[in-house]
Structure formats: C-alpha cells, structure tokens
Amino acid sequence: MLNKYMCIGNLVKNPELIELKNEAKVCKFAVAINDPIKKGDVLFMDIECWNKVAENCSKFLKKGAKALIEGRIVSSSWKKNGENKTRMFVRADSVTFFPKTLNNVSEYDNIEEPNSKEEEELLKELEDVPF
C-alpha cells in the first residue's frame, strides 16, 4: 500500500536545488500547512522532488509561494553519534504552483508582452510545463 499524500501550503524558505554526480537533480523545501479546523495550528512538512519537477520548483517557487504537493510519505533513517535518527518527508511526484492571489484578480492579468528574446523563451518554456 502506497502512502499517497496531498497538501496545500506556503513555502517557508526558498527551494534548494542540488545537482548530483549522476546528473540527477533534487530540490528540497518546506511548506507550512494551516489546519482548517483548528485555527492557528500549523504543520511544517519537508518536501523533496527530483529531476524536471525539481528544476521547475527551483525556477518558479520562492518563499511565501502557495503550492499543491502530491506525492508519498517517505522515511529516512541513519545513525549519528551512535544514536538512531529518523526523518519523515514527502517525496513529491508533482507540484502545482498557484498565483499570489487566488481570487478573481490574478497576478498574471497585468503581464505585458515580452520585451526580450529571453522573456519570450521563458514564456515558451512555461507553456510546456506539464502541470
């Protein structure tokens, strides 16, 4: 049985992209998830994603951004100073980015046409993002 997990939260710091020797990439960040029933209760969840998802998170997310994370709960164990340690986190299969405002007026409503080739290429790249 897989431990599927979905959450919506705000990033508590900027994502960290790590490039590994085998050309794989991992992005790590944490989100704050507000409890809708117990106002004021917050769960902080560590998130880890890989390769293309990692690259996109590194490019397009920053501290304070809202994101929907879909993945599975994973545990990692190790020994430190003879003591057993365990860490629980979410290995994200997909991450959906939200605009700063979730009401009728979007931050994207006022975007002007691109002025440079770099901006045009970035917009074309965004059209191909699979989420």
Q: Write a three-state SS string for the chain.
A: CCCEEEEEEEECCCCEEEECCCCCEEEEEEEEEECCCCCCCEEEEEEEEEHHHHHHHHHHCCCCCEEEEEEEEEEEEEEECCEEEEEEEEEEEEEEECCCCCCCCCCCCCCCCCCCHHHHHHHHHHHCCCC
Task: Say what the pLDDT of residue 7 is.
Answer: 92
pLDDT tens-digit map of 68-127: 999 999 998 989 899 998 989 999 999 999 876 654 444 444 444 445 566 666 666 656
Res. 10: pLDDT tops 70:
yes
Task: Say what the pLDDT of residue 107 is.
Answer: 44
